[in-house]
Amino acid sequence: MTDSRPEGLRFYSPTKVNVPSKVAIVKGERSVSTVTKALELIGGVDEFSDRPVLIKVNLIASKRWYKGVTTDPVVVEGLIRAFKNVNENVFVVESDSTITDADRAAQVSGIHDICGQYNVPFVNLRRAGEMVAVQVENHDALSSIALPKLVINSYVVSAAKMKTHVDTQVTLGMKNMFGLISDKFKLKYHFMHSIDEVIVDVNTAIRPVLTVIDGFIAMEGKGPINGKPVKMDMIIAGKDVVATDAVASRVMGFDPRLIYHINRAAEKGLGFIDGYEVVGESVEGVARKFRRP
């Protein structure tokens, strides 16, 4: 097994987002075509052809897709199809959590079957091999974060779930990136630091090039696991994770300026909390007030 201890400290600073971008809201049945339409509305994925693509899913628990807990395999299929048209190096990734084995969760959710169907590897980041210590510019909680070298050298797509969260109010594209930390005992970050600050630091260190929020079956109430499933029949997608999370939050009836990690990321220049262009459906046309956690 490859030594997983971090290499010498590496400074990584993604370019700040200076130009507002499009965020797509697409209402539609649970299908690949709904995902495809959302991607088309934001300009497609042709630009992501020169490096591996990691589709980071949410597998916080070993649950079937219809429970509203984990990323729907149909969303993963839509993303695989889109990226396979321009890039053969596509992976689906997740890491173990304190209570969940990611490999087992991938099997239960149906994501493992989709990976097999398209010959796409599923990678448990806890066993991804060589690690790199990434220094976080202007950090809030973590001055450096150990991430798999595979993550650093790839385009990351946050294939998130639309859910409420007992600690962070919502869990969307930015919160999903927290799972790139390969340490199994992630619960410690909820107690040793402000989890919202850790989320901002992770997204400062490595920002997703694309965020796709699965709202086919969302979750309200005591998320991210024990809430109530909500049938929204919706995909929200964008290339600015802050803007995409802001739109999704508003669809859920939250003010993103009152959600610490989204507002703080906007303050740091990681994306736009306002001023983006919404394409497809309007926020007002699809909004539903989610029950708070």
Answer yes or no: is 3 within a domain. no
Measure the CA–CA gap between 203 and 201, rounded to whole angstroms.
5
Structural domain boundaries, residue 260: 21-286
Answer yes or no: is 292 within a domain. no
**pLDDT value at position 155?**
98
**pLDDT value at position 6?**
40
Answer yes or no: is 38 within a domain. yes
Answer yes or no: is 2 within a domain. no
Answer yes or no: is 246 within a domain. yes
What CATH number is associated with residue 66?
3.40.50.11440
Give, for all 293 residues of the chain, the pLDDT tens digit: 333 334 444 434 455 677 779 999 999 999 999 999 999 999 999 999 999 999 999 999 999 999 999 999 999 999 999 999 999 999 999 999 888 999 999 999 999 999 999 999 999 999 998 999 999 999 999 999 999 999 999 999 999 999 999 999 999 999 999 999 988 756 677 666 799 999 999 999 999 999 999 999 999 999 999 999 999 999 999 999 999 999 999 999 999 999 999 999 999 999 999 999 999 999 999 999 999 99
**pLDDT value at position 186?**
63
**pLDDT value at position 98?**
80
Answer yes or no: is 72 within a domain. yes
pTM, rounded to two decimals? 0.93
CB 54 within 8 A of CB 157: yes
**pLDDT value at position 193?**
74
**pLDDT value at position 5?**
35
Cβ-count burial of 104 within 10 angstroms (0-12 exposed, 13-18 middle, 19+ buried)? middle
Answer yes or no: is 5 within a domain. no
202-234 burial, b at 16+ Cβ within 10 Å, e below that, comes to bbbbbbbbbbbbbbbbbbbbebbbebeebebbb
Answer yes or no: is 162 within a domain. yes
Q: How many domains does the chain have?
A: 1
Contacts of 119 (CB under 8 A, 6+ apart): none
**Length of the chain as a residue count:** 293
CB 168 within 8 A of CB 195: yes
